[in-house]
Amino acid sequence: MSADLAAVAATLRAELSARYHTDEITPDTWWLSLSRTALGAVAMIPAMTWLRQVLDVLDAEMAARSVCLPKIGGDGAVIVYSAAALADPIELIETVAHEHEHARVLKADPDLQVAMDYTSGELRATTEARAYAVGAFARYLVTGAWQTADEIVAPLAHGYLLSPADREHVATLVASHLATMRAGVVPSLEVCHVVLEILRAHHPGAIVVEAFR
């Protein structure tokens, strides 16, 4: 019997959230829906047509892209899950793992994350490579399907403000982690080990790669 991947995703969300002190926002979060409705009403005013354009851009971003943000005035992070991630259990498993690598950094040193985001493309590329590798590992565990580094990092070409050289750096680092996975070894990334630990404890049947069972 195949594993219930929706249940696997739910377990990862709960367990990783508890470990890394994350809260989450989804498109149907009540206050977000209420705010969107109120702003949409304001945007109907002729003088506020610019707001409609802003809301359309934000809606498109929230539909397609998840993001991890520092928790204001508190420990941990807030993960905003996209509609696309929530619509597919495999995408959600990958996204939960990916975003919790970012959450790990924010929990350990939020100032470092800000520095990486705004002062160094190379540092940001490195942290993105770690997150993409963690997500790829989670997906690989439950599907056994192989992706190339270029396929994994393709989203970085849109909206991440990384130079072509930085994106190439991400792909190179991810390729190194993929080689480790292909050898049947867990990448030396904390969240990879935590994801595997969770799956072994709660959903061992979901692990389809023999080397990691």
Domain of residue 39 covers 5-212
The torsion angles phi and psi of 178, rounded to 5 degrees, stand at -65, -40
Residue count of the chain, please give it: 213
Q: Which of 111, 124, 132, 116 is nearest to 163 (CA)?
A: 124
The torsion angles phi and psi of 25, rounded to 5 degrees, stand at -125, 135
Single-letter amino acid, residue 14: A
Q: What is the largest CA-CA distance in the chain?
A: 61
Residue 69's contacts (CB-CB under 8 Å, 6 or more residues apart) are 77, 78, 79, 80
Overall domain count for the chain = 1
- Give, rounded to a whole angstrom, the gap between the first and last alpha carbons of the chain: 16
pLDDT in single tens digits along all 213 residues of the chain:
467 999 999 999 999 999 999 998 887 764 455 455 555 555 566 655 554 554 455 555 666 688 888 877 667 888 989 889 999 999 999 999 999 999 998 887 766 555 555 556 677 888 899 999 999 999 999 999 999 999 999 888 776 667 888 889 999 999 999 999 999 999 999 999 999 999 999 999 999 999 999
